[in-house]
Amino acid sequence: MTDLFDLTGKTALVTGGAQGLGRMIAEGLLRAGASVAITSRKADICEAAAAEMAALGKCIALPCDLASPEAAVELATRVRSTFGGKLHVIVNNAGKTWGGPLDSFPDKAWPGVMMVNVQAPFTLIRELLPELQAAASAEDPARVINIGSVAGKVTERLSAYSYSASKAAIHMLSRDLAGDLAQRNINVNVVMPGFFPTKMTAHLRDDEVADPAVLAHIPMRRMGREDEIAGVIVFLASRAGSYVTGAEIPVDGGVVGCG
C-alpha cells in the first residue's frame, strides 16, 4: 500500500498549471513524485510558478496560449522534446469562460471558449498519442485527465452558456476517447470540480469569504480545498486508479450527487 499513490519516475503535463486549480493539481503531482510541465498564457507567470514549485520536485515551464490548434500542436512538440518521447499523464485543465445575459450573449463568446475547453484538449491528446503509448502498459496505463465542471452536468444558472456547453462537451468527448483508447492502454477520465477559491470564482467571494448564497447551494456548505482536488488527480494518475476509465468524478461537496 505504501506505493499505491506514488508517481516517482512519472512525467505529467498540466495545462493552465501556473494558477488556480491547475497549480493545486501540479503541486499534488509533484508531491507524489512526478516530474511536471506546466503551461500558462503569460510566460512570466508560468516561469515564476515553475520556479516556486521546483522546491517540490522537477517542474518545467512551457508557456503557451492554447487559443488555436496550431498552438496545441506546437506545445505537443515541446512536450515531446522535454520528456524524451514518453508522457505518463496529461491533465487538460486550461480553461476559458464568458458570462453575460442571455438576451445579449454575443456570438464571439463561443469560438474561443470551445477552442480552449474542447478542441485544444483533443488536439493535445491526438498529437501526444505516441508519447502516451510509449509510457503505457496493460498493468500501468497512461492517463488522460480532463477537467470538466459541475456546470457541464447540472444547471447552475451562471449565464455562462458557452462555458457550460463546452464542459458538457469535454465530458462526452472523454467518454468517447476512453472507449477508443482502452485497447491502447490509455485511461481517460473527467474530474468535475465544484466551487474552489480560484480566479474563476472570485466574483462569488468577498476577498476570501464565500457568498453565503453560494455555500447554501453546496450540501457540504463550504468551498473545496487544494488537497481535495489534488488528491483525486493523484488517485487517477497512480496505481490506485489504474482500473478506472470513462469515469466522470465530481469533486464538489455534493452539488451533483445530492442535487
Rounded to a whole number of angstroms, the CA Rg of the chain reads 17
DSSP class of residue 102?
G
**What is the tens place of the pLDDT at every residue in 134-190?**
999 999 999 999 999 999 999 988 899 999 999 999 999 999 999 999 999 999 999
**What is the tens place of the pLDDT at every residue in 2-60?**
799 999 999 999 999 999 999 999 999 999 999 999 999 999 999 999 999 999 999 99
Q: Which residue has the higher pLDDT, 81 or 197?
A: 81
15 vs 18: CA distance, rounded Å: 8
112 vs 147: CA distance, rounded Å: 17
Confirm whether 161 is a catalytic residue.
no
Is the separation of the CB atoms in 53 and 36 below 8 Å? yes
Is the separation of the CB atoms in 39 and 65 below 8 Å? no
DSSP for 50-100, written as a single string: HHHHTTTS-EEE-----SSHHHHHHHHHHHHHHHTT---EEEE--------
**What is the tens place of the pLDDT at every residue in 109-120?**
999 999 999 999
Residue type at position 133? Q
pLDDT score for 152? 96
| Per-residue cell: 119 | 478542441
pLDDT score for 205? 41
Which of 2.60.120.560, 3.90.79.10, 3.10.20.30, 3.40.50.720 is the CATH number of 11-251? Answer: 3.40.50.720
Quote the mean pLDDT of the chain: 94
Per-residue pLDDT for 210 more than 90?
A: no
**What is the tens place of the pLDDT at every residue in 194-206?**
999 866 555 554 4
Per-residue pLDDT for 213 more than 60?
A: yes
DSSP class of residue 212?
H
> What is the bridge-based pairing of β-strands 209-210 and 205-206?
antiparallel
To which H or E segment does residue 205 belong? strand 205-206
pLDDT-derived band at 229, boundaries 50, 70, 90: very high
pLDDT score for 1? 67
Residue of 163, 195, 196, 235 marked catalytic? 163
Which CA distances in Å does 142 have to 211, 223, 238? 39, 30, 10
Strand-pair partners of 188:
144
pLDDT score for 208? 60
pLDDT score for 247? 98
pLDDT score for 234? 98
